[in-house]
């Protein structure tokens, strides 16, 4: 996620929130770096040390997330509440996918995702125009929320130990998660583009005409859409839904091309990500 700097500037005027959000960003960056180091390491001793540090950071992040929720309760302006709640959703989503490997293999990421949804969905029901919350829910489903925990554990233990591609059964379940994500992504697009409604199946050309500038809200929204098309296409290929996969990949590629024309640096970032 590319977080809108304007949101941070607005929230950062309030010292307690500023410190908490910055702490969360610092923790998240370190967790990401540790994850990379872990998979690159050949030393079991080093991996154990990394896991220990990761767990300390995870607990620290959870404490910070609790503090954000307290600030949400105390905040009166709906705009500020929505932004803080959206930040909470973003951080818990990213925490779930950056847990220590043994925790991921136990499905603890799925527990975090369900915890987040149990808070975000009721909040959205009370604040249906809160685009930050819509996006947070989209991202959680985009990262596999709702997949059966036993299937997830078996799948990742098999993939990591046998170095094989995901199974067709798992791919089908992931597609189901992406279709849940799709509902919230469509609502998010409609809110960002100020439309009454939006359909990814029917209104794709609107995305190609949307006026985006480097790093602005529309640009970041289109990047979310491109990533969604690319990921569901990946799992559709594994599941054998080749026609759907080809169609969605073409749509992803068109959006990526448009976005890299606006911001050439995005191409390097995408290449690094997929590598």
Separation CA 133–CA 93 (nearest Å): 12
pLDDT tens track for 192-224: 999 999 999 999 999 999 999 998 999 999 999
Separation CA 60–CA 233 (nearest Å): 36
Delimit the domains of the chain by residue range: 191-275
Separation CA 259–CA 210 (nearest Å): 11
**165: DSSP letter:** P
Query: Rounded to the nearest 10 degrees, what angle do helices 131-142 and 217-239 cross at?
Result: 20
pLDDT tens track for 41-95: 999 999 999 999 999 999 999 999 999 999 999 998 999 999 999 999 999 999 9
pLDDT tens track for 128-168: 999 999 999 999 999 999 999 999 999 988 888 777 889 99
Per-residue burial over 145-178, b if 16 or more Cβ lie within 10 Å, else e, is bbbeeeebbbbbeeeeeeeeebbeebbebbbebb
Output the six-digit token pair for 207: 């995305």
pTM of the model: 0.91
pLDDT for 140 equals 98
Per-residue burial over 62-90, b if 16 or more Cβ lie within 10 Å, else e, is eebbebbeebbeebeeeebbbbbbbbbbb
Measured at the CA of 254, the angle between CA 252 and CA 260, to 5 degrees, comes to 100
């Amino acid at each position: 996620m590319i977080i809108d700097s304007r949101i941070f500037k607005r929230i950062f005027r309030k010292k307690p929130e500023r410190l908490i959000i910055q702490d969360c960003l610092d923790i998240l960056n370190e967790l990401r770096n540790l994850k990379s180091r872990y998979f690159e390491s050949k030393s079991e001793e080093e991996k154990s040390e990394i896991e220990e540090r990761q767990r300390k950071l995870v607990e620290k992040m959870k404490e910070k997330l609790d503090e954000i929720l307290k600030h949400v309760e105390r905040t009166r302006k709906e705009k500020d509440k929505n932004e803080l709640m959206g930040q909470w959703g973003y951080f818990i989503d990213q925490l779930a996918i950056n847990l220590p490997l043994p925790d991921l293999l136990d499905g603890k990421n799925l527990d975090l995702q369900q915890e987040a949804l149990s808070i975000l969905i009721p909040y959205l029901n009370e604040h249906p125009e809160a685009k930050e919350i819509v996006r947070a829910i989209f991202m959680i489903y985009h990262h596999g929320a709702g997949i059966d925990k036993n299937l997830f554990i078996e799948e990742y233990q098999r993939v990591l130990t046998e170095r094989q591609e995901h199974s067709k059964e798992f791919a089908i379940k992931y597609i189901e998660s992406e279709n849940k994500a799709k509902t919230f992504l469509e609502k998010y697009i409609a809110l960002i583009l100020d439309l009454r409604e939006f359909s990814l199946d029917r209104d794709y050309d609107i995305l190609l005409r949307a006026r985006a500038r480097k790093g602005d809200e529309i640009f970041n929204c289109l990047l979310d859409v491109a990533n969604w098309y690319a990921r569901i296409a990946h799992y559709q290929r594994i599941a054998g839904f080749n026609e759907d996969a080809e169609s969605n990949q073409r749509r992803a590629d068109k959006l990526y091309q448009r976005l890299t024309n606006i911001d050439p640096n995005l191409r390097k970032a995408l290449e690094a990500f997929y590598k």
